[in-house]
Amino acid sequence: MAFELISHVGLTEQLQVIDIAFDDELFSRYGVTIPVVKSEQSEINWPFDLSQLKQWLTANGITYHS
């Protein structure tokens, strides 16, 4: 679902998918809040909807297509 939202705003090419299953630090940090979208030091954790994603992108100066 989160990938579909990212796709909807046209940012799949800028997306880097990281599997946290084998990284104890990331797994303990994010656990059940994955997927996480991160830019610089700002994050939006699941669950989020399209409106929340767009608001986060705008607040972080990330240009997207609606």
pLDDT of residue 66: 76
pLDDT of residue 57: 98
The amino acid at residue 60 is N
pLDDT of residue 14: 94
pLDDT of residue 3: 95
Residue 7 confidence (pLDDT) above 80: yes
Contact 64, 11 (CB under 8 A): yes
Cα–Cα distance between 66 and 16 in angstroms, integer? 20
CB atoms within 10 A of CB 59: 10
Query: pTM of whole model > 0.75?
Result: yes
